[in-house]
Each structure stands twice: as structure tokens, then as C-alpha cells.
């Protein structure tokens, strides 16, 4: 193996693969998905009832509604826009607060509110909005709640927001697409175009090619994963440990990618195999999506050791002692994959194909 | 038109399509997966707030008012029973009033009320139950509020008969299946262009018109067949089957036109995937407006698949009659013919 040749090959990968669709896909998709998930789950999937407000004066109620956490309030400049937002389902409920609303209530006079309801809004959302409105109006006019409220949570469940549940998917996708798909498709492409044959006729060996492809996948994988982690501010309190685990996960992904590339003869077969392996690859991630599944189930699958320690460190601030067993298993898996790759590389060299 | 040649061409294309492991797997696998996803999703919408009280603590007039406001009330025998009902997910919140609560309220003693939630209840839902309790206490002390609310319901009031998420998703899944077929057809065609088998075919007595008729039948048949299986198994044909079948055929025609266009752009599977994914993302956009109402502006009407998605949604979920769907179907047919013409022209140039 020649280090110089490996770096020449990496340079070539960078020049040619960066124009490849899969490369762009591997870099762009996890980042875009990460942004979409935080955007969607931050607003669309909150489960909060949506209230539209058109404030004709400067009512205190509008700002109180905007501040409450119980619902999602949005202001509209005109009644027509509010009406059309309700009609299209953009909000469940729309209210028009008249100019003298606060004044009437404070003077103990009858106040009026026009309300629009979206026909498809859920009964519980309507009830929730109506209750919130009434209670906030009472607060506004200074009526004091006649009871003291003591809240108690029962059971040991945890309200995990969906963006948090989906985060492991995005990190895994970042590692897997860059680390596995990039080298695998690049190798298969070279095999289909027969450029790999031309390469190994020169002093370049199969080992040089595999290392270069794998290293390039590793770089892409680690780069995209770092971008996704920084976009989500998910470095936790142990950035060095996290970076180390990220590096190991990227190595495993790259080794898997090179192996797939070596064994698959064309792109169609490669994609078919990746599709077929989908359940095995993604299975550990379902324990994050559905916390009701016992944690040990995920540990049956090798990809758990790529994503598990990363999630423990970034989401739960786990220390080395808490994740060391998983990391040693990850290192073991990498050693096995590299051993298989070395054997395959020697076999290919002997065959000279 | 030589229909024997066309039939032979179609059967050759279908067998070639299924020889491609990627597309064969995704075609069958995806169809099965979509059907399974649909069937395991909830078939109704839970739109009630379920609250529990210890049986003898809630005044009759208040419980009647809560029921009027569509709340579901659970009466527990004791606080322990109330907690068990929460842990067993029978209710989402429980209120426990202290002994002598009514008297304490009447004498302004600010009695303490305990509210129980399951720990995994989202914070906003907890806030709602606390607000509900506050309003209940105001009602119990008889504190009035001088507001008249004039309510107007916009659109059909679907309370009690809400459309489940899986039915909102069904048009999107059907469109997704139709649109995904563009990739299969495009790959099939580009493979033939690269291997020059299309040119070889044209040396035979087969004419260009017959060639494209054959390819169109393959494309429409593959796309329509899968979408039809999906809607037939999921009960999508229970409402307005004629509109749905026409819409699916027109959707398959659109997929075929787009497939022809894609085949003229890409050289191999990778090239087709590059443009195909972009096309799929654009064409799937209108379906988002059904799942997330109010999120998409009128610009979406510029995307051809809007007329397909809108028709399927209104027929599946609202049972609109044919005369109301006719405009959408006519626009869709016009768009289909334009895409088909564009695709065939681009392909003919490529072959030439």
C-alpha cells in the first residue's frame, strides 16, 4: 500500500465524486431533513390548538394569548385574511377583538367577540381554545382564581418531543449516506465503467483503492454529521468523546460501504440490497422513535453501536464509563469489517480482476 | 396501428421492468408497505378531552355543562382509583377536590385542588387542563363573564365525523405511487436508448407511433395498476369510484409523460434519479396541503399534480359529485397531453 497513491486517489474522488448525484444527496439531504424536521415539529406538529387573532384595537388579551403556552396564536392584519386562514384550516379558531373590548369589560359592560371556527377543527381544540380565552379574559379583568392548584405527574414516562425522537434518524442518515452510500456507489460505478481494472493495472492496488474510497466516505460522513450536530446544537457536554465516537461510527459506515461496493456488481443491485437491508439498518432507531420498546432490542443490531453512544452523549450527556462497553463493541465490529475487507482485497489482488 | 406488435412490446417492457431488481423490489415492497402503514394507522380521530373526578365531588350542574362542552367525564370511586385510571390511560387528567370544597369556595378560603396527569402528557395539554380547572372553579363560585361570542363555522362542521389522518394521507400515497413509476419507466426507456435497442426496434415493421403507444400503455398500466390495488384494498373506492378511477388513469398518464421527459434527460439510473427525485419532490408538494391544511398558498395550483391530489382528496374524503370534479379532471387531462407531447418530442429527438 502506498500512502501517496491513496492521497492521489482521494483527490480524484473529491474532484469526480463531488459532481455525483449520490454525493450531493449524501451531503444535502441530512442537512435539509434536519432543518425541515426542526421547522415542522417546531410548528406544524406541536399538537397545540391554533388560534388566529385580528385585534382591531390594542387589546391586552391579544398579547396574553400570544404569550400563553397552551395554544399557538397568530395575528392577522385584517378580518378577511383571518377568515380565509380559518376557512383553509390554517388555524382552528379565529377571533376578532373589537376596539373597545378591554374597556367594555373593565367597565363591567357586555363585550362582544366575533369568532370563526374551522369546520374540521377537533372538538378538543375548540374546547381548549374557548377555555383558554375565557380564563385569560378573567385574568385580564382581574378576577382571581378561587382555588390553589397543585399538579402531580404520574408514572415514569417522559414527554419526548418528536424532533428529539427523529434526531437519531437524521444523525444516522448523515453517517450512513456519506459513509456507506458514497464509497459503495463510487466503487460500483468504477466497476461498471471498468475504470477500476485500468487502475489496478498500474502500481495501484485494490487495497489503495478501497482505502481511498473508504477514507473519502469517512470524511463526507463525519463532515455532514458534524454539520447536523451543530445545526441542532447537540454536542452535549463531552464534545471530545462525541467527536471520537462520531469518528468510529464514520469508520464503520465507510467499511460497510466499501464492502457493499466490492460485492455488488451494479447500481441496481446495490440499491436493491440497501432497500432490503433497510429494516436491519434502521431497526435500532425505532427504540428512540417509540420509547415503549425495551432498549435491549436495539442492541441486537450492529448499527445500534454507531448511533447509540452518539445519542447517549449528545442527548443525555453520558460519560465515558456509561458508553465504554458500547464503544468497545463498535471497535470490535470495525476490526471484523476491516479484517473482511483486507481478506477481500487480497483475494481480488490474487485474481487480478 | 399494429396492436399485436404493441402487445408484444408491452409484455417485453413489463418483464424487463421486473428484471430490474431495484425497481421490482421498490414497486412490490413499497406497495405492500404503504398498504400495511394505512391499515395499522388509527381509523378514527380522538377528539375528546377525557377528565376524571372523584364521583361525589362534582356538582351536577357543572358536570352537565362539561358534557355540553363535549368533555368526556370519568367518575372514580376514590383518589387512588382516579390515579389508576390515569395510569391505565383511560383519562388524560384527573381532578381531586378536598373535603368540604364547596363550602371552602363559598367562604373564599382558596381550597387546594390536586390535578393528576400522566408524566408523558405534553406540557401544552397540561396547561389546558389547568386552565379548565380554573374555569371550573370560576363557574362553581358563580362568577359571571360579560362576553357574547358570535360564532360562525366555516366549511362543513365535521365534529364527530373527522377525517382520520390515514384517509388524509391516502391521496398522497396514491400520488406517490403514481409519480414513483416515472422513475421506473424512465429507467426502462433510458436503458433502451443507451443499449440502442429502441433503434433496433424501429428497424422492424414497428412504427414510431406504435412504439410510443406501447411505452405509454406500459407506463399507464404499471402506474395505474399499483394505485388501483392500493385504493381498492384500503377502501378508497367506497366513495365516488368513477371519479377516483378516472383521476388515477389521468395521474398515470401524467406519470408517463414525466417519465418520457426524464428518460430524455438522464443517461443511466443515477442521472434519472437526480432529476427524478427533484420531479417527485415538486409533484408531491400539493399533497402536503391536505395533511397540513392551511400551510400551502395558491401558488401550488401551478404544480400539475395539484389537480390530481385535490380531486382524489375531495372524492375520497368528501365524496364530491362528478360535476364538481369535472373542471379539475379537464385541467389534468390537458396537462397530461402537454407532458406526453413534450416527453414524446424530447425522446424522439434523443433517438434521432
Give the domain ranges of chain A: 3-40+159-351, 50-120
Which residues in chain A are closer than 8 Å to B21, comparing Cβ atoms?
Answer: 268-269, 272
Structure confidence at residue B267 (pLDDT): 67
Q: Is the pLDDT of residue A352 over 70?
A: no
**Which residue has cell 390537458?**
B334
Q: Is the pLDDT of residue A288 over 80?
A: no
Structure confidence at residue A159 (pLDDT): 64
Structure confidence at residue B319 (pLDDT): 87
Rounded to whole angstroms, the Cα distance separating B57 from B99 reads: 8
Highest mean pLDDT among A7-16, A67-76, B206-215: A67-76
Structure confidence at residue B266 (pLDDT): 67
**Is residue A43 very low, low, confident or very high in pLDDT (cuts 50, 70, 90)?**
low
For the segment A43-51, the average pLDDT, to the nearest whole number, is: 72
**Is residue A88 very low, low, confident or very high in pLDDT (cuts 50, 70, 90)?**
confident
How many residues does this entry show for chain B? 352
One digit per residue, pLDDT tens: chain B, 352 residues?
778 888 888 888 888 777 766 667 767 877 888 888 888 888 888 777 888 888 676 777 777 777 777 788 888 888 889 889 988 888 888 998 888 888 888 888 888 888 998 887 887 788 888 888 888 888 888 877 778 888 888 888 887 778 888 888 888 888 888 887 787 788 778 777 777 787 777 778 777 788 888 888 988 998 899 899 999 998 888 888 999 999 999 999 999 999 888 888 766 666 777 778 778 888 888 888 887 777 777 788 889 999 999 999 999 888 889 988 999 999 999 999 999 999 989 888 877 7
User: Of the candidates B140, B154, B160, which has its C-beta nearest A118's C-beta?
Assistant: B154
What is the nearest CA distance from B3 to chain A, expressed in angstroms? 32
User: Of the candidates B137, B151, B160, which has its C-beta nearest A117's C-beta?
Assistant: B151
Structure confidence at residue A255 (pLDDT): 92
B301 alpha-carbon distance from chain centroid:
18
Tell me whether 0.90 is exceeded by the ipTM: no
Rounded to whole angstroms, the Cα distance separating B243 from B53 reads: 49
Range name among A36-40, A300-304, B307-311 with the lowest pLDDT average: A36-40
pLDDT digits (tens, 9 = 90+) for A237-253: 788 888 888 899 999 99
Q: How many A×B Cβ pairs under 8 Å?
A: 229
Q: Is the pLDDT of residue A10 over 70?
A: yes
**Is residue A322 very low, low, confident or very high in pLDDT (cuts 50, 70, 90)?**
confident
- Answer whether A157 sits within 8 Å of B145, measured CB to CB: no
Q: In CATH, what is the architecture of A50-120? A: 3-Layer(aba) Sandwich (3.40)
Please give the model's pTM, rounded to 2 decimal places.
0.71
Is A51 an interface residue toward B (CB < 8 Å)? no
Decide: A266 and B270 in contact? Cβ < 8 Å.
no
Instruction: Tell me the three cell numbers of residue B202.
Output: 424501429
- Answer whether A70 sits within 8 Å of B124, measured CB to CB: yes
User: Of the candidates B25, B112, B157, which has its C-beta nearest A150's C-beta?
Assistant: B112
- Answer whether A111 sits within 8 Å of B274, measured CB to CB: no
Rounded to whole angstroms, the Cα distance separating B262 from B273 reads: 9
Label residue B49 left, alpha or beta by phi (over 0 means left) and psi (-120 to 50 means alpha): beta
- Answer whether B150 sits within 8 Å of A112, measured CB to CB: yes
Quickly list H helices, A177-290.
Answer: 182-192, 195-201, 206-231, 239-263, 267-282, 286-289
Structure confidence at residue A19 (pLDDT): 67
- Answer whether B162 sits within 8 Å of A122, measured CB to CB: yes
User: Of the candidates A117, A146, A267, which has its C-beta nearest B138's C-beta?
Assistant: A146
Bigger pLDDT: A326 or A230? A326
Name which of B101, B112, B155 to mutate to probe chain A: the one with the most chain A Cβ atoms within 10 A of its Cβ: B155
pLDDT digits (tens, 9 = 90+) for A59-68: 999 999 988 8
User: Of the candidates A46, A87, A271, which has its C-beta nearest B124's C-beta?
Assistant: A46
What is the nearest CA distance from B36 to chain A, expressed in angstroms? 15
- Answer whether A137 sits within 8 Å of B116, measured CB to CB: no
Range name among A12-16, A144-148, B282-286, B314-318 with the lowest pLDDT average: A12-16
Which one, of B123, B145, B120, B149, lies nearest residue B134 by Cα?
B145
Is A212 an interface residue toward B (CB < 8 Å)? no
User: Of the candidates B124, B133, B295, which has its C-beta nearest A149's C-beta?
Assistant: B133
What is the nearest CA distance from A254 to chain B, expressed in angstroms? 20
Rounded to whole angstroms, the Cα distance separating A155 from B231 reads: 41
Structure confidence at residue B209 (pLDDT): 82
Structure confidence at residue B241 (pLDDT): 92
Structure confidence at residue B339 (pLDDT): 93
Domains of chain B in sequence order: 3-42+163-351 (no CATH), 49-141 (3.40.1710.10)
Structure confidence at residue B251 (pLDDT): 94
Bigger pLDDT: A254 or B25? A254
- Answer whether B134 sits within 8 Å of A159, measured CB to CB: no
Which residues in chain A are closer than 8 Å to B155, comparing Cβ atoms?
Answer: 87, 118-120
**Which residue has cell 466490492?**
A262
Structure confidence at residue A337 (pLDDT): 92
Amino acid at each position: 500500500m502506498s500512502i501517496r497513491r491513496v492521497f492521489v486517489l482521494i483527490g480524484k474522488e473529491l474532484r469526480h465524486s463531488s459532481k455525483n448525484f449520490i454525493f450531493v444527496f449524501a451531503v444535502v439531504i441530512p442537512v435539509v431533513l434536519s432543518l425541515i424536521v426542526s421547522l415542522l415539529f417546531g410548528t406544524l406538529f406541536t399538537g397545540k390548538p391554533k388560534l388566529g387573532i385580528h385585534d382591531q384595537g390594542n387589546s391586552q388579551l391579544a398579547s396574553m394569548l400570544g404569550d400563553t403556552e397552551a395554544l399557538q396564536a397568530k395575528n392577522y392584519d385584517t378580518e378577511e385574511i383571518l377568515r380565509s386562514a380559518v376557512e383553509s384550516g390554517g388555524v382552528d379558531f379565529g377571533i376578532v377583538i373589537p376596539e373597545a373590548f378591554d374597556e367594555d369589560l373593565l367597565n363591567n359592560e357586555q363585550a362582544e367577540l366575533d369568532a370563526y371556527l374551522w369546520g374540521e377543527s377537533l372538538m378538543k381544540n375548540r374546547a381548549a381554545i374557548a377555555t383558554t380565552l375565557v380564563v385569560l379574559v378573567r385574568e385580564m379583568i382581574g378576577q382571581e382564581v378561587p382555588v390553589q392548584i397543585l399538579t402531580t405527574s404520574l408514572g415514569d414516562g417522559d414527554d419526548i418531543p418528536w424532533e428529539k425522537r427523529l434526531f437519531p434518524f437524521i444523525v444516522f442518515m448523515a453517517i450512513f449516506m456519506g459513509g456507506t452510500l458514497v464509497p459503495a456507489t463510487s466503487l460500483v460505478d468504477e466497476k461498471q465503467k471498468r475504470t477500476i481494472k485500468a487502475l489496478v493495472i498500474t502500481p495501484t492496488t485494490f487495497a489503495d483503492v478501497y482505502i481511498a474510497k473508504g477514507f473519502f466516505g469517512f470524511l463526507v460522513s463525519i463532515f455532514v454529521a458534524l454539520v447536523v450536530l451543530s445545526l441542532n446544537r447537540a454536542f452535549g457536554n463531552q464534545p471530545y468523546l462525541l467527536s471520537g465516537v462520531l469518528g468510529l461510527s464514520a469508520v464503520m459506515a465507510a467499511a460497510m460501504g466499501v464492502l457493499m461496493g466490492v460485492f455488488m456488481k451494479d447500481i441496481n443491485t446495490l440499491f436493491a440490497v440497501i432497500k432490503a437491508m433497510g429494516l436491519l439498518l434502521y431497526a435500532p432507531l425505532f427504540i428512540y422513535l417509540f420509547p415503549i420498546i425495551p432498549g435491549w432490542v436495539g442492541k441486537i443490531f450492529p448499527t445500534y453501536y454507531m448511533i447509540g453512544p452518539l445519542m447517549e452523549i449528545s442527548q443525555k450527556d453520558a460519560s465515558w464509563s456509561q458508553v465504554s462497553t458500547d464503544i468497545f463493541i463498535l471497535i470490535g465490529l470495525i476490526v471484523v469489517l476491516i479484517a473482511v475487507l483486507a481478506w477481500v482485497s487480497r483475494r481480488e489482488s490474487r485474481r487480478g480482476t | 396501428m399494429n396492436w399485436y406488435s404493441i402487445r408484444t412490446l408491452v409484455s417485453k417492457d413489463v418483464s424487463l421492468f421486473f428484471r430490474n431488481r431495484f425497481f421490482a423490489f421498490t414497486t412490490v415492497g413499497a406497495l405492500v408497505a404503504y398498504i400495511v402503514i394505512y391499515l395499522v394507522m388509527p381509523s378514527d380521530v380522538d377528539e375528546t378531552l377525557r377528565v376524571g373526578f372523584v364521583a361525589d365531588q362534582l356538582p351536577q350542574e357543572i358536570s352537565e355543562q362539561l358534557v355540553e362542552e363535549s368533555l368526556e367525564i370519568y367518575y372514580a370511586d376514590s383518589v387512588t382509583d382516579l390515579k389508576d385510571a390515569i395510569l391505565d390511560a383511560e383519562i388524560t387528567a384527573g381532578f381531586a377536590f378536598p373535603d368540604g370544597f364547596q363550602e371552602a369556595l363559598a367562604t373564599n378560603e382558596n381550597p387546594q385542588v390536586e390535578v393528576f396527569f400522566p408524566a408523558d402528557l405534553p406540557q401544552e395539554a397540561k396547561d389546558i387542563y389547568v386552565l379548565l380547572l380554573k374555569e371550573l372553579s370560576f363557574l362553581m363560585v358563580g362568577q359571571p363573564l360579560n362576553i357574547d361570542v358570535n360564532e360562525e363555522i366555516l366549511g362543513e362542521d365535521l365534529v364527530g365525523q373527522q377525517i382520520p389522518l390515514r384517509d388524509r394521507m391516502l391521496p398522497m400515497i396514491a400520488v406517490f405511487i403514481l409519480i414513483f413509476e416515472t422513475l421506473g419507466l424512465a429507467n426502462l426507456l433510458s436503458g433502451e436508448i443507451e443499449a440502442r435497442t429502441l433503434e433496433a426496434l424501429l428497424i422492424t415493421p414497428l412504427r414510431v407511433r406504435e412504439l410510443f403507444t406501447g411505452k405509454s400503455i406500459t407506463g399507464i398500466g404499471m402506474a395505474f395498476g399499483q394505485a388501483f390495488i392500493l385504493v381498492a384494498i384500503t377502501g378508497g373506492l367506497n366513495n365516488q369510484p368513477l371519479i377516483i378511477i378516472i383521476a388515477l388513469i389521468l395521474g398515470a398518464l401524467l406519470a408517463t409523460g414525466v417519465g418520457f421527459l426524464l428518460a430524455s434527460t438522464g443517461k443511466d439510473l443515477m442521472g434519472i434519479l437526480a432529476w427524478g427525485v427533484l420531479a417527485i419532490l415538486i409533484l408531491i408538494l400539493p399533497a402536503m396541503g391536505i395533511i397540513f391544511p392551511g400551510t400551502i398558498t395558491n401558488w401550488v395550483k401551478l404544480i400539475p399534480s395539484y389537480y390530481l391530489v385535490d380531486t382524489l382528496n375531495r372524492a375520497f374524503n368528501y365524496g364530491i359529485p362528478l360535476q364538481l370534479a369535472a373542471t379539475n379532471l379537464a385541467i389534468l387531462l390537458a396537462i397530461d397531453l402537454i407532458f406526453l407531447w413534450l416527453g414524446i418530442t424530447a425522446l424522439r429527438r434523443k433517438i434521432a
